[in-house]
Amino acid sequence: MNRMDLNRGMITRYGIPLVILIAVGLPLVSADLYILNLLVLMLIFIIFAEAWNLLAYSGQGSLGHAAFFGIGAYASTLIATESGITPYITIFVGGAVAALIGVLIGLTCVRLREWFLAMVTFGFAIIVQTLTVSVLAPVTGGWDGIASPRLISAGIPGYQLIQYYSILLITIGCILLIHLIMKSRLGLAFSAIRENEVEARATGVDPVRVRLIAFAISAYIAGIAGALEIHYIGYLTPEIYGVDISFWPIIYVIFGGLGTLAGPVIGTVILMSVWEGLRQAGLTFGRYVIVGVMLILVIIALPKGLVSLPGELRERWMAWKEKRAVRADSADIIPDKES
Amino acid sequence: MVDVGILLQILFWGVYAGCIYILLATGLNLIFGVMKIVNFAHGEFLMLGAYITATVFFMTGVNPYAIIIISMLVLIGIGAVVERLCFRPILGTSKLNEIFLSLGLIYIFQNSAAMIWGDQWQSIRSPYQGITVSLGPLSVPVDYLIIMAVTSAILCALYFFLRKTETGRQMRATSQNRKGAMLVGINVERMDIMSFSIGCALAAAAGTLWVVSGQVFNPYMGSIPAVKAFAIIILGGLGSIPGAIAGGLLYGIAENGAAYFLGGVWKDAISFIILIIVLVVKPTGLFGESGE
């Protein structure tokens, strides 16, 4: 027990600075644009996965988070294009629009659980996509999409690095925000309604209000992630609402560890690296199969995700050692028992 | 002004489209009733049924309607394997786990199919293509009539199986009260695997019917119908097979109506709009008694 606590303290004390050091230092060591691009996308999906994770932390599993990702992207792009304001400001406005719509969809979802919620959120992404290509097509450009202003104009020397470090800063900010929320009374209320709604209500937590807040914050952060990605890529089409975009954060979070702060980071970094590796190896469809198998294995064998692997292994090891000690003891007393 | 002929045509198309949904939703409902799980990857069994039908058809050239038996048998086997390897280990854990597990299954099945058969759209020609029958103001393709007949036959067979046979009764008992069923000596794990396999076989039948009607198919075709089938069983009430049939017909008609009156892009969205409205008004579904 004691050793485990110590170990956990060490991981947070040295692990987090180490990760930040790597994130800061890697582009300086290797100025490879391919790696820089991959790192930027990783950061964006870390934000997205953390946003999904926060909603799941309150007991709500969304299958349509691409809706918020996309709404943030469209809102920020349209505002930046119309007003000429720098995307660094409009991404937060885009997030706010996503949060507003998140509250609206949350209102229909607060009384629903598990599969019902999953269905409604999934359907919501499809409805938003349909609206984007039909009614809103004059503004959004329909299926053709629209160009999105870049975060920084390509004329500035070293713009790629500035871009990377600014996104890194936003990522750290988002993670810090989520960390503070999880540690606050609100975070406590999230886990209370997740674990037992009746008891939470008895202690004075209003589940409807708390769920709505969770929806709003999660949609806000997902919207920021979507806006960042699109300003980074520079072009926006309705495919951003695709099922794939909704599923990736879920897979990353489950793989890394649901409900933890480190899980989404670990899951995103590992799976995106594996994904890129498999792509390089030329596995167009095979990589999906491999990721699917990995996901199922983690769900069945390691339900708390990769973050629980060290603890799990230590526990196994302890149990095995204890068993061996017991066996050795009993062997002293009764020589020929136990197979 | 819309004339009656067009309305009837939409209605008829809706019933035909509803057949696929009914088969999917009935299977999902059967599985849900017995195992209390939801498999979002159910549409992948539809897709497999479609590809098996097309493959056997291309190889042998037999009447594609006969292949329904092969595709159902193959999917019974695949269903048993999936239940045993994937769903049984997580039975009784968090409900979110089944959703996540289904995501993994979706990726595996879709992309395995893409590796085997390629990811382009395909279609086959039914032997009865182009033959139509006039029913009053309607001219109806024979294929659609056969599909409706086959669907009804499958549903009747399922009804008799559940009502009249010993296994069917055991299955219903398990779905009503799992612990009680265990106490009277029913092997509930056998019921799990059987209901899952039958559900998969129904999806396979839907896949065959999808293909023979001349509709195009690709490895990713299954997701949206499966999610709609799930929306249907929410509408019709979880575990209620009559609800699944009513919901399936309603969805088929609503979708075709929306596609005609609002334009094709609304076809998918309209089903979710219906779902959301129903759930806002009545969070337990149209015929459902409780949310759990």
Q: Is there a contact between B111 and A120 if contact means CB atoms under 8 Å apart?
A: no
Q: Determine what percent of chain B is predicted with pLDDT higher than 90.
A: 34
Q: Does the pLDDT value for residue B291 go beyond 50?
A: no
Contact A245, A66 (CB under 8 A): yes
The torsion angle over the Cα atoms of residues A242, A248, A251 and A256, rounded to 10 degrees, is -160
The mean of the pLDDT values for chain A is 86
B95 vs A contacts (CB less than 8 Å): 113-115
Q: Which of A172-176, B34-38, B51-55, B197-201 has the lowest mean pLDDT?
A: B34-38
Question: Which of B86, B100, B115 lies at the smallest CB-CB distance from A250?
Answer: B100
Distance (Å, rounded) from C-alpha B80 to C-alpha B96? Answer: 22
Contact B196, B79 (CB under 8 A): yes
Q: What are phi and psi of A147, to 5 degrees?
A: -75, 145
Domain ranges of chain A: 1-30, 33-250
Distance (Å, rounded) from C-alpha B41 to C-alpha B83? Answer: 12
Residue that has been written with the tokens 């009680």 in this structure: B180
Q: Does the beta carbon of A8 lie under 8 angstroms from any beta carbon of chain B?
A: no
pLDDT of residue A337: 47
Q: Does the pLDDT value for residue A294 go beyond 60?
A: yes
B280 vs A contacts (CB less than 8 Å): 108
Q: What is the mean pLDDT of residues A57-73?
A: 91
The string over A258-295, giving b where at least 16 C-beta atoms fall within 10 Å of a residue's C-beta and e elsewhere, is bbbbbbbbbbbbebbeebbebeeeebebebbbbbbebb
pLDDT of residue A2: 46
Cβ-Cβ contacts under 8 Å for A73 (sequence gap 6 or more):
A94, A148, A223, A226, A227, A229, A230, A236, A240
Identify residue A41 by its one-letter amino acid code. Answer: L
Q: Which residues pair with B7 in a beta bridge?
A: none
Q: Looking at per-residue confidence, does A329 or A43 come out higher?
A: A43
pLDDT in tens, B73-121: 999 999 999 999 999 888 878 777 888 899 899 999 999 999 999 888 8
Residue that has been written with the tokens 């997205």 in this structure: A48
Q: Is there a contact between A116 and B106 if contact means CB atoms under 8 Å apart?
A: no
Tokens of B82: 């999936």
Contact A169, A44 (CB under 8 A): no
Cβ-Cβ contacts under 8 Å for A53 (sequence gap 6 or more):
A178, A249, A253, A258, A259, A260, A263, A264
| B132 membership: H or E segment, kind and range | strand B132-135
Q: Which option is the CATH number for B4-281: 1.10.10, 1.10.287, 1.10.3470, 3.30.70?
A: 1.10.3470
B273 vs A contacts (CB less than 8 Å): 123, 127
pTM greater than the 0.90 cutoff: no
Tokens of B289: 């008694």
| pLDDT tier at A23, thresholds 50, 70, 90 | confident
DSSP string for residues in A11-48: IIIIIHHHHHHHHHHHHHH---HHHHHHHHHHHHHHHH
**Sign of the alpha-carbon dihedral angle for B271, B275, B281, B286:** positive
Chain centre to alpha carbon of residue A309: 19
- Nearest-Cα distance to chain A for B219, in Å, is 11
Q: Does the pLDDT value for residue A268 go beyond 50?
A: yes
pLDDT of residue B292: 37
pLDDT in tens, B7-45: 888 888 888 888 999 999 999 889 988 888 888 899 999
| pLDDT tier at B5, thresholds 50, 70, 90 | confident
Q: Does the beta carbon of B17 lie under 8 angstroms from any beta carbon of chain A?
A: no
pLDDT in tens, A83-120: 888 889 899 999 999 999 999 888 887 777 677 788 88
Angle between helices B4-35 and B42-60 (to 10 degrees): 110
| pLDDT tier at B287, thresholds 50, 70, 90 | low
In chain B, which residue's Cα lies nearest the Cα of A60? B96
pLDDT in tens, A34-59: 888 899 999 999 999 999 999 999 88
pLDDT of residue A312: 83
Q: Is there a contact between B283 and A111 if contact means CB atoms under 8 Å apart?
A: yes
Find, among B70, B252, B54, B227, the residue nearest to B148 by Cα.
B252
DSSP string for residues in A202-253: HTT--HHHHHHHHHHHHHHHHHHHHHHHHHHH-EE-GGGGSHHHHHHHHHHH
Tokens of A22: 């790597």
Exposed/middle/buried for residue A202 (C-beta within 10 Å: 0-12, 13-18, 19+): exposed
Distance (Å, rounded) from C-alpha B248 to C-alpha A146? Answer: 38
List, as ranges, residues 239-268 from B with C-beta within 8 Å of A.
263, 265-266, 268
